[in-house]
Amino acid sequence: MSKQQRNALGRGLSALLENASTDITAAEAKPLNSISEIPIGQVQANPFQPRDVFEETALNELAESIKVHGIIQPITVRKLGYDSYQIISGERRTRAARLAGLTSIPAYIRLADDQGMLEMALIENIQREELNAMEIAFSYKRLLEECSLNQEQLGERVGKKRSTVNNYLRLLKLPDNIQIAIRENEISMGHARAIINIEDQDDQQYLFHKIVEEGLTVRDIENLVRQAQERAVEKKNSLPTKKKTEIPQAFGEMQKSLSEKLGMKIKIKADEKGRGSLVIPFKSQQDLKRLIDLL
């Protein structure tokens, strides 16, 4: 991906889609932002599409709207070869257009490599409000791992603070059943953010079931989490500190003397009753043989 394309992504997907350097339709002596009608049968799905579920009722409603009004917002594709295109953004519109029986679809035709495709597809989908928190979290993870971005760069790409990006990524550390509940809107992002502040997974499951069974609010869960954290601190502070044992002075002198004799630092561990162990390190088989001969 070129520097110009990356800068465009930093300003949002719309900036890249208005970039003449990536626009085949513009390069073919057409005005900037011109639209081509391409056969819908030549349009392939986006392999990098982060959404794997398209709500059937909403898709049918969009198809009915398309029958009446047509495609209001053109899709964006890249040209793969002769009579072959791949969707960059607009998979939902394309599916609905097929349901509506359209034989062609208005499109911007762009130049993009696979990494550029992935970035554009993920960012375009993240900017849509209907994505659930887990879909956003997985999209952020893919941008980090597959596009070699750090969290600061990712925040610039999607127009979010680094702390916001991190809050979504932390959801991926939750147990699978809680992630599914977030995805299916059984619990909110606020609930999830409170739960993840507890490290113990048994405690996380306990809080999750209380939300589902008792309908607890985010504020309720935050209070429970705070109380649990306070109890954990009190328990830790009440534990007796382990007293560091020191070997008797005579053992210390023996340790020093033996270390000097063997030419290496040995260690004597002993309790108050004089029971313990002698630790003699060696660096090689030859070193071990030397020690055995000395002893």
**Both tokens assigned to 132:** 């659930």
Q: Which residue has the tokens 């009190």?
A: 234
Q: Is 11 helix (H, G, I), strand (E, B) or coil?
A: coil
CB atoms within 10 A of CB 292: 9
Q: Which of 212, 219, 215 is nearest to 193 (CA)?
A: 219
Q: For strand 267-270 and strand 75-81, is the pairing parallel, antiparallel, or unpaired?
A: unpaired
Q: Is 38 helix (H, G, I), strand (E, B) or coil?
A: strand
C-alpha 39/C-alpha 104 separation (Å) is 4
**Residue 186 bears catalytic tag:** no
Look at the chain and count its residues. 295
C-alpha 39/C-alpha 28 separation (Å) is 19
**Both tokens assigned to 56:** 């059937």
Q: Which of 37, 64, 91, 246 is catalytic?
A: 91
* Identity of the amino acid at 9: L
Report CA Rg, the chain: 31
**Both tokens assigned to 259:** 């270390």
**Both tokens assigned to 216:** 């607890």
**Both tokens assigned to 173:** 């550390």
Q: Which of 85, 114, 90, 69 is nearest to 17 (CA)?
A: 90
Cβ partners under 8 Å of residue 143, min gap 6: 118, 119, 122, 123, 149, 154, 157, 158
Q: Which residue has the tokens 């917002």?
A: 73
**Both tokens assigned to 84:** 């072959």
Q: Which residues are catalytic?
A: 91
